[in-house]
Structure formats: structure tokens, C-alpha cells
Amino acid sequence: MISGFLVKKGQMTSIYTEDGKRIAVTKCIAKPLTVTQIKNQEKDGYQAVQVAYGERKKLDKSTSTKLTKLKIETLPKGFQEFDLTSDQIPEIGSNISIDTVFTVGEEVDATGISKGHGFAGVIKRHGFKKQPLLGASDRVRHPGSIGAQTPSKVVRGKKMPGHFGNVNKTIENLKIISINPETNEILISGSFSGHFNSWITLKKTI
């Protein structure tokens, strides 16, 4: 089948395991994905499966024509490709459910866009400590010295104030706690990047 899946992030909660241990989990909605295209080695130079996920109100004309030929009624929010993990190639227009890709207890990597916090200082962005309350009161949250005089420049990668968040982040080695095919709900251990109702890409941990 395919190497990953797309889920919509929900709220966090906590559950108890069989041995009485309390763990934090994130509840996600994993509706079936529709296969829209099959990439092959001869034509495209690689093998992959393109799937459609989500819903939207409007779509460009060329993509709408393509979906009409596939007899897909709902307009998808987007498309994404996943590698094939077996010789079993799904048919175009068929649906792939979450329980055919992942199993309970399997480890996955979750990739999502982190929450944007705008322009932030070094304390909020990098976790710096405040300066001592000895000098000017408007300098306690400033970064202080940023280097010696010898380079005569700001070295690349220096931790300074700037844009915080709104970047792709991957949290690795998360465990699938449960999968409910009837309600399309999946529980994943821990937390990962993304706001409520954002789309998260799950891939099998290598």
C-alpha cells in the first residue's frame, strides 16, 4: 500500500493503558483518501500514488475536469503523493482507509505547520534568560552581546529576534494508540505541530 496518510488534527486528551498508566494522546480524524493518479517508472521516472484529501468550495478548471472524469463529486482541498510499500497498486478512483496503511502500536512521524507567533524576541523564540535587574530597565529582555569584534559581522545561524513559528516541523517516533474505522478516529501518543483542524502528514518511521 502507500507509505503515509493525511489526517485532520483534533483536540488532545488523556487515556489510561491496560497497566493503569496515564498517557497524553492527540485525537485525529482520518477519512479515506481517494486515489487520483498512479505514477510509474516508465512515464514519470518513479513510483508513487497521488491521493486527494479534504474538501473545498472552488477549484481551478483543469483540476475540476480531471476530477469529473474520475467521477469524484466533492472538490478536494489538495493532493499529495506517497511512495508504494508493496506490489499491490490501488486503482484510480478507489478509496484508501487508515486501517489498511497503519496498525495499532506502529511508530509514525507526524509533519505539520507549527503555529505562527509573528515577530518574537530571543526569550520567547529561543528560551533565553532575562538579564539581571541591575542596569537600565528596558534591557532585561534584550539578547546582549552577539559576538566578538574579530569577525566584524553577524555569523550565520546566530540566535536573534525574528519570525517565530509557521514552519514545517516533524515529530518522530510517535505511537499509534488506537484506530476506529467506523468513526475514522485515530489516537496518536504525545503532541505534534499544527493548529486545530490542520492537516498532518503521517509517515512510517524508518
CA 98 to chain CA centroid, nearest Å: 16
Predicted pLDDT at 1: 81
- Per-residue pLDDT, 129: 94
CA distance 129 to 123: 6
Helix and strand numbers (H, E) in the chain are 3, 12
Alpha-carbon distance of 204 to 92, in angstroms, equals 23
8 Å CB contact between 51 and 2: yes
Closest CA to 26 of 170, 188, 193: 188
Cell readout for 192 is 505534534
CA 76 – CA 99 distance, rounded (Å): 21
- Domains of the chain listed by start with CATH number: 4-116+168-204 (2.40.30.10), 117-164 (4.10.960.10)
Bridge partners (DSSP) listed for residue 175: 107
- In angstroms, the CA 158 to CA 21 distance is 41
**Cβ(125)–Cβ(141) below 8 Å:** no
Measured CA to CA, the distance from residue 92 to residue 105 in angstroms comes to 30
Query: What are the tens digits of pLDDT across the range 76-115?
Result: 888 999 998 888 888 888 899 999 999 999 999 999 999 9
- Highest mean pLDDT pick, 29-43, 90-104, 109-123: 109-123
169 phi and psi angles, rounded to 5 deg: -130, 140
Q: For 3-12, 68-77, 81-90, which range has the lowest pLDDT when averaged over its residues?
A: 68-77
Please state, in angstroms and rounded to a whole number, the distance separating the CA atoms of residues 86 and 168: 28
Round to whole Å and give the CA distance between 80 and 38: 12
164 pLDDT band (50/70/90 cuts)? very high
Question: What is the percentage of the chain residues whose pLDDT exceeds 70?
Answer: 98
